[in-house]
Amino acid sequence: MKKIITIFLILLPFAIFAKIEEYTDVSLYFKTNFNANEINLSLSFNDQKYFWINLDASLNNDEKYIYEPWQDVTMFGYYYLLKEGYIGVNLNKKTTITVGQIIPKDEIDSKYSLFFNNQTEIGKYSVNFDYEGEKFFYKSNWMLLNKDSALEYQDRGLNYKTYGITLGNFKIGLQDIIIYNDRVFDPYYFLNPFPSTMIQEIRYTYSAPWVQKEEIVDDNSMIGMFIEYNNEKSSYYLQLFIDDLNLNRIFNPESYQNPDKIAWSLGIKQATKYGIFGFYHAGATKYTNQRTGSGKQTEYTYYPSLEYYYPEDNPETKILDYKENYIGYIYGENTVSFLIDYLNQSDKIDNYVSLEYAISGEKSPHEPWNGYKTYEPGTHLLNDDILEHFIELNWELTLKLTDNLKLTPNIIINHYTNKIEFVEVERYKEAKIWQPVEDNNETNFQIGIKFEVDLF
C-alpha cells in the first residue's frame, strides 16, 4: 500500500501544477493470462520545449522475482517493478541528454533487432547523449550493467555509439558496443566519439607514456551496421552484428581458423488496402555473444549468470530465461528464426496476427566455448545432433471502446520439439549451458486480456 501511495504522491504535483491536457499523459493497465497478473502505471510529462520526465512501474504476481520482506505480508502476493524512471533535457532542437533508468532501444524497431532487443522489462541506469540532424545523427550512451552485486557478479558497464547519415528515405548507420568489467564507467569510451575498438587499442598496444595494463583494458568490443528505408507504405531494413571475424581465412589461411561470430537481421513491412504485412528473418552463428574466458564476465548479456536467489533469506535458485538476459538478438547464438505478421487497423478495432518459427542449438553465454577447452575451428551454425524447433501463433485484437479505454484479448499457441533446458554437462569441465533435450516436447495454449485506460 505504501508503494501505491508513493506513486500517487509523485503523480499529484503534475496533476495540480501542470497543464494536464497539454503536458501530461497518465495511463493505467491491468493485464492477466489467468495464471499471473500485472498492474501498470505510466506517467510522462513533457513541456514540449526543454524538459521531460517518464515514470513506469508495475505490480506483478508471476513469482519471477520475490520481494522477500513484504510480498506475502502487505503486498497480497505481488512485488513491484520500477521499469523506467528518467528525465530528459533538450539542449537545442537537435540535441538531447537523458539520464535515469532507461530501457534501451535499437535503431532498428524489430523483434529481431541485434543490438538491443525488445524483451527486457527493466531499464538500466544510463546516460544518453543524442544528436539528430537533417543529414547526420550520433549517439553516445553509457549503461550500468552490474554494481556491488550480492550474487558476486563483477562490476560491469557498457558503452554504445551510433553514427549515421540520412539520405532522403534512407538511413545508414554504424553501431558500436563495448562491455567492460571491474568498473562501471569508463570516460574514455563515453567522451571520445571515435569507435571503441580504436580507443581500446591505443590504450594498451602502444609504446607510449599513456599505455595501460592490458588486463585492465581487455574489454569486449562489437560492431555492426544497418540500412533502413521508409516511405508512406513500405519499410525495409538490413542489420549486421559482428562479435568477431576470422580474417585468417584471407590473410593467413595456413594458421588457426577462429569462428566467425556474427548475427544478421532483415525485415520487410508493406502497407496495402487490406492491411500491413510483414516478414522478418534473423540468425546468429555459434559462440556469438559468449564470454571468452572463465573469469572474464564480458558476455553480451545484462547479467553474467542466469541463476539468481536472495542471499540473505531464500536459498532457492531461480533461472532467468536466456531470452530476457540477452541484450541483443532475442534468441542468441546458434539460431535462425522467421516471423510473418499482419496488422489491420481501423478507428474502433486493431487486429494483429503473427506466426513465428525458430530453430536453435546449444547456447552458452556464460561458459566459454560451451564447456570445452577451446572453440571448434571454423564457423558453425545448427550443427548439433539435436536441435530445438519452436513454432508460435499469436493473435491479438484491440477494441477501442472509447477515446480513453481499450480492451485487448489475445491468444498464444506454441509448440516446442526438443525444448531447450538449462542443464549441467561434463566436458572439459563441468558446465551449465542451454541445450536441446531429445523428446522434450511441449505444447502451450494461453489466453490473456488487457484493460488499458488513459487517465489524462
Q: pLDDT value at position 183?
A: 92
If one looks up domain 91-454 in CATH, what number appears?
2.40.160
What is the percentage of the chain residues whose pLDDT exceeds 70? Answer: 91
Q: pLDDT value at position 13?
A: 60
With CA atoms as reference, report the closest residue to 141 among 212, 78, 84, 196.
Answer: 196
User: Looking at the chain, how many residues does it have?
Assistant: 456
Residues 157-180 pLDDT 10s: 999 999 999 999 999 999 999 999
Sign for the pseudo-dihedral over CA of 190, 195, 200, 203: negative
* CA atoms of 441 and 437, how far apart (whole Å): 9
Mean pLDDT along residues 15-35: 79
- CA 227 from centroid of its chain's CA atoms: 20
Sign for the pseudo-dihedral over CA of 355, 225, 306, 308: negative
> Are the CB atoms for 415 and 443 separated by under 8 Å?
yes
- As separate numbers, helices (DSSP H) first and strands (DSSP E) second, the chain gives 6, 22
What are the backbone dihedrals phi and psi of residue 6, each rounded to the nearest 5 degrees, phi first? Answer: -60, -45
Ordered by start, the domain boundaries in the chain are 1-90, 91-454
DSSP secondary structure of 169-218: TEEEEEEEEEEEES-S--HHHHH--S-HHHHHHHHHSSSSTT---TTTS-
Residues 106-116 pLDDT 10s: 999 999 999 99
> Are the CB atoms for 139 and 130 separated by under 8 Å?
yes
What are the backbone dihedrals phi and psi of residue 161, each rounded to the nearest 5 degrees, phi first? Answer: -130, 150
Sign for the pseudo-dihedral over CA of 59, 64, 65, 70: positive
Arithmetic mean of pLDDT over the chain: 90
Q: pLDDT value at position 307?
A: 87
Q: pLDDT value at position 17?
A: 53
Whether the predicted pLDDT of 7 surpasses 80:
no
Say whether 131 sits in a helix, a strand or coil.
strand
pTM for the predicted model, two decimal places? 0.91
Q: pLDDT value at position 217?
A: 86
Any bridge partners for residue 400, and if so which? 406
With CA atoms as reference, report the closest residue to 261 among 295, 224, 217, 301.
Answer: 224
With CA atoms as reference, report the closest residue to 181 among 152, 150, 220.
Answer: 220
